[in-house]
Amino acid sequence: MSNEEREEVVTLGAGCFWCVEAVLEQIDGVTSVRSGYMGGHTENPDYRDVCTGGTGHAEVTQVRFDPEVLPLEHLLAWFWRLHDPTTLDRQGNDVGTQYRSAIFYHSEEQRSVAEASRREADASGRFADPIVTEITEASTFWPAEDYHQEYYRLNNTQPYCRMVIAPKLDKLGLES
């Protein structure tokens, strides 16, 4: 079986997709990440529309990974570390339903793993408040505009990248 045949896809919302992408693209076993939108009611949403909060979509990162190298449980361990899953519709100064914490599963097995992972993270004592991450069946993934893809890698001197993303990468022990 080739690596491509083994790959799985999971879609994660953890605030700004630039931040999530910058972290996950560095994790061994992740084969690709793509920023986009999921979970709303608007067809073919764009960034401007999603930012209004009126589309119902979350900013997400669709992650392709090799489960033999990076089991979903380990990928989700990174997910819990890279954001605050206890704040409803907010990550730092980014506020709105588009910044909600969400795991969009692509199979019943992923749903089961995600629910167990959330229970374990909630019981771990790492978080002062209960986890509010939604676990929802994946729907249509709408890729974000090209300028959002690989944003940190291409724009790492921009103020948001220097003030928000770089410190996150440093905190997680990743290359900034």
On whether residue 12 sits in a domain, the answer given is: yes
Distance CA 97, CA 30 (A): 26
Instruction: Provide the residue range defining the domain that includes 25.
Output: 3-171
Report pTM.
0.95
Residue 67 lies in a domain: yes
The CATH number given to whatever domain includes residue 139 is 3.30.1060.10
Known catalytic residue at 51: no
Distance separating alpha carbons of residues 24 and 126, to the nearest angstrom? 21
| CB burial of residue 62 (10 Å; 0-12, 13-18, 19+) | buried
Instruction: Identify whether 77 is part of a domain.
Output: yes
Catalytically annotated residue among 16, 19, 51, 161: 16
In a domain, 70, yes or no: yes
Residue 176 belongs to a domain? no
How many domains, in total, are found in the chain? 1
- Tens digits of pLDDT across the chain (176 residues): 666 778 999 999 999 999 999 999 999 999 999 999 999 999 999 999 999 999 999 999 999 999 999 999 999 999 999 999 999 999 999 999 999 999 999 999 999 999 999 999 999 999 999 999 999 999 999 999 999 999 999 999 999 999 999 999 999 999 99
